[in-house]
Amino acid sequence: MANESLGKTYPDGEIIFRQGDAADCLYIIQSGHVVIYQEEGGTEVILAELGEGDTFGDMGVFMGPVRTESARARGDARVVTADYRFVLKKFRDDPSYAFQVIEKMARRDRARKELADKALEDETLRRKDRAAQARDADYYDFAPVGAIDLDEEGVIRGINLSGAALLGSERGELLGLPFATFVPPENIELYRKHLLACKNASEGVITELLLKTRKGNPTKVQFFSYPKQDQDRVVYRTLMTELASRQ
């Protein structure tokens, strides 16, 4: 193999070559690790992590003329470069080496394709999920009825524009407040029973409540709550419909 004195040590994170660089040699790892990756649409896709004795940049020797992927050191990595003449001499001296290299390239190429396909599939699913979340957010925010998210303690974790208008406050002032603030004393027990029923029900719970708003106008509403997972907590998405508006 190549003389150790010809090797070069790359510190952690240093780029060995970039996608699009001229491809004129392969590399042999003497110590440490090297990460092989591609950049597609601003997203980095890790293809492989290689260690001592592994080769990379093989395609540059056999296919060229430019790199189709990038390589960087993970931790300190010492590598040796080998040009086309070195590879041909190695093939002549040890024909089994050619078979090993070709087999390794084929296995790595299959693994890279599988990783790239999975990354593409994952990104497609993420885009669909983001689009669905955006649609849900628009629907939630501009729903014609008041919508509010309460945690298990009855604290307001989210509220749409219609809900804030119903309670007569700015949305930013409502977040983090106990919803009981807007329930008159004579309805507090009914409200607590509603929350308790939400904890024990897998489907929605309906209750009629009288609310007091900051504008001082008591309003009778139908409270319809159902459980919804929100990040690391369960919240109760609650729709508030003014009963007078339904008559």
What does the pLDDT look like over 130-185, one tens digit per residue?
554 544 454 466 566 788 889 888 999 888 888 888 888 888 899 999 999 999 99
For residue 123, pLDDT beyond 70:
no
Report the distance separating Cα 16 and Cα 36, nearest Å. Answer: 10
Which pLDDT does position 193 carry in this prediction? 92
Contacts of 110 (CB under 8 A, 6+ apart): none
Report the distance separating Cα 226 and Cα 238, nearest Å. Answer: 7
Which pLDDT does position 92 carry in this prediction? 63
Report the distance separating Cα 23 and Cα 84, nearest Å. Answer: 11
What does the pLDDT look like over 9-23, one tens digit per residue?
999 999 999 988 988
Which pLDDT does position 165 carry in this prediction? 87
Predicted confidence band of residue 119 (pLDDT cuts 50, 70, 90): low
- Helix/strand/coil (H/E/C) assignment for every residue in 26-77: EEEEEEEEEEEEEEECCEEEEEEEECCCCEECHHHHHCCCECCCEEEEEEEE
Q: Are 16 and 73 in contact (CB under 8 A)?
A: yes
Percent of the chain with pLDDT over 90: 23
